[in-house]
Amino acid sequence: MALQAAALVPSAFTIPKEGKSSASFKDSSLFGVSFSEHVKADFNSSALRCKREYNQRNGAVRAQTTASAPSVTRASPEGKKTLRKGSVIVTGASSGLGLATAKALAETGKWHVIMACRDFLKAERAAKSAGITKENYTIMHLDLASLDSVRQFVDNFRRSGQPLDVLVCNAAVYLPTAKEPTFTAEGFELSVGTNHLGHFLLSRLLLEDLNKSDYPSRRHIIVGSITGNTNTLAGNVPPKANLGDLRGLAGGLNGLNSSAMIDGGDFDGAKAYKDSKVCNMLTMQEFHRRYHEDTGITFASLYPGCIATTGLFREHIPLFRLLFPPFQKYITKGFVSEEEAGKRLAQVVSEPSLTKSGVYWSWNKDSASFENQLSQEASDVEKARKVWDVSEKLVGLA
Ligand SMILES: NC(=O)c1ccc[n+]([C@@H]2O[C@H](COP(=O)([O-])OP(=O)(O)OC[C@H]3O[C@@H](n4cnc5c(N)ncnc54)[C@H](OP(=O)(O)O)[C@@H]3O)[C@@H](O)[C@H]2O)c1
């Protein structure tokens, strides 16, 4: 658990950005890490019955699909009933962690992955090049930066008649070099609007679908990050996550009559990302407190490790993108391959040993999972309730 990298990580130094302005390297350790850090059950026909009834109620099925709905494993000749394929939605499955997770799950033959992506063609190409076989995935359009698109996605998903057993909120944008804020369709700052508010609406709407599933272990997973946790070295690299008193969020994050930042401060793209991750981790815990006992659904978050090669860093300066992977590999030793990170998230989706709810999972150097501690802010019960209440209003649920 190594704070050993601390001395090696510059807290902030600057590099000229392609000869023009200077861009800060202050975030280089954010994702850095080693700073420290089926179920067997009988299938019964109720899922099919639900699906039939749902289709009858809703008329013809229409969805943007490239493959058929999950199949059901027939009873063996000996009369043994076997578990049907699990049905999992993964947002942002067109690259990086989401794609690696989709691949890891599909490869088991036990999961049908609904890849919820904003770019259909990119997702299709990604699935093909990852070698995911057609019968194991469906692509459905979802743009988390538009609440209309989120609602449309939920509608399309329901019309497809597929059950929902696990929801993985994975997609994210990270805009560390942005000088000015950009906004979602509804006018929320893009990082928090996409990473938190889009997922918040999606999760709230799909809770009902998760709750209907007859799958033995239903799970809702929101991908977190070390960078939002100020109890870690990486989380202490400026700018630090801080939601303050939520005045910017309450004001709508529109940059006009309110700040584009949750705490009401000046815009900072790297901080907006970290703040959004704090919201992700708070939201997971609030879901757990509100719904776990009644529904039995497992709510979890995780830090998969520093996957320094993903598209998450696409907006960073070229030099950062060049140096970040070797820096993580050889200096902090926090580097995790996309494949390994995908296996980790796939564990949180399907491992029978990871059913505990309200947990933030991490992995040690030997790739063994453990329950990690969240920072004070990322586990603040009162703040979680407030973020929930304000978010509910912003996405039109209250
Ligand atoms: N990389 C790391 O070191 C690291 C560390 C800790 C946590 N994480 C977390 O891991 C998750 C995945 O990140 P990644 O590293 O795999 O990055 P990535 O390769 O950039 O993947 C992000 C995914 O999100 C999608 N996305 C972005 N905006 C969207 C929108 N408006 N609607 C729908 N999808 C959208 C992207 O779609 P396009 O393909 O269309 O762009 C892409 O598929 C994030 O939650 C991130 O916070 C990453």
Per-residue model confidence as pLDDT tens digits over 177-219: 999 999 999 999 999 999 999 999 999 999 999 999 999 999 9
Helices 199-212 and 269-287 cross at an angle (nearest 10°) of: 20
**Which atom of ligand 1 is the closest one to the Cα of 97?**
16
Separation of 103 CA from ligand 1 center, angstroms? 15
- Residue 312 CA to ligand 1 center (angstroms) comes to 6
Confidence of residue 257 (pLDDT cuts 50, 70, 90): confident
For residues 155-174, give the mean pLDDT.
98
Q: Position 321: which residue type?
A: R
What pLDDT, on a 0 to 100 scale, did the predictor assign at position 36? 35
pLDDT for residue 14 is more than 70: no
pLDDT value at position 26?
43
Q: Which residue has the higher pLDDT, 114 or 7?
A: 114
**Residue scoring higher pLDDT (172 or 82):** 172
Would the pLDDT of 6 be above 80? no
Task: State the distance from the centre of ligand 1 to the C-alpha of 345, rounded, in angstroms.
Answer: 13
At 381-395, the pLDDT tens digits run 999 999 999 999 999
User: Average pLDDT in the 124-134 region?
Assistant: 98
Q: What is the CA radius of gyration of the chain?
A: 21
Considering only CA atoms, which residue is closest to atom 5 of ligand 1?
Answer: 306
Report all structural domains of the chain as residue ranges with CATH numbers, in order of start.
Answer: 86-395 (3.40.50.720)
- What is residue 83's predicted lDDT score, i.e. its pLDDT? 82
pLDDT > 70? residue 372:
yes
Q: Residue whose CA is closest, atom 6 of ligand 1?
A: 225
Mean pLDDT of 30-47: 35
How close is the Cα of 92 to the center of ligand 1, in Å? 6
How far is the centre of ligand 1, averaged over its atoms, from the C-alpha of 57 (Å)?
35
Q: Give me the chain's average pLDDT, please.
A: 84
Most ligand 1 atoms within 8 A of CB, residue of 29, 31, 64, 97 to mutate: 97
Q: Is the pLDDT assigned to residue 12 strictly greater than 60?
A: no
Measured from the CA of 273, which atom of ligand 1 is nearest? 47
What confidence tens digit (pLDDT) does each residue in 219-245 have? 999 999 998 888 888 899 899 999 999
Q: Looking at ligand 1, which residue's alpha carbon is closest to its atom 1? A: 307
Site to probe by mutation for ligand 1, drawn from 99, 118, 154, 275 as the one with most ligand atoms within 8 Å of Cβ, is 118
Q: How remote is the CA of residue 99 from the centroid of ligand 1, in Å? A: 10
If one residue of 170, 237, 338, 340 were mutated to test the ligand 1 pocket, choosing by the most ligand atoms within 8 A of its CB, it would be 170
Cβ-based neighbour number of residue 57 at 10 Å: 8
Q: What is the pLDDT of residue 231?
A: 87
- Distance between Cα 219 and ligand 1 center (Å): 20
Average pLDDT estimate for 60-89:
54
Distance from Cα 260 to the centre of ligand 1, integer Å: 21
- For β-strands 166-169 and 137-141, DSSP reports them as unpaired
Lookup: tokens for 379: 């586990």
Query: Given a cut of 60, is residue 54 above it in pLDDT?
Result: no
pTM: 0.84
Q: Whose CA is nearest to atom 36 of ligand 1?
A: 92
Q: Which of 195-199, 224-228, 249-253, 350-354 has the lowest mean pLDDT?
A: 224-228
270-306, pLDDT tens digit by residue? 999 999 999 999 999 999 999 999 999 999 999 999 9
Q: What's the pLDDT score for residue 120?
A: 97
Across 62-76, 104-118, 204-218, least confident range: 62-76
**324 alpha carbon – ligand 1 mean position (Å):** 17
Residue closest via CA to ligand 1's atom 38 equals: 94
277 CA: nearest ligand 1 atom: 47
pLDDT value at 374 more than 80:
yes
Is the confidence at residue 38, as pLDDT, over 80? Answer: no
User: What's the confidence (pLDDT) of residue 80?
Assistant: 55
Report how far ligand 1's centroid is from the alpha carbon of 41 (Å): 33
Position 343 scores a pLDDT of: 98
Pocket residues for ligand 1 (CB within 6 Å)?
31, 91-92, 94-98, 117-119, 122, 142-145, 170-173, 194, 223, 225, 303-304, 306-308, 310-312
Per-residue pLDDT, averaged over 72-95, amounts to: 74
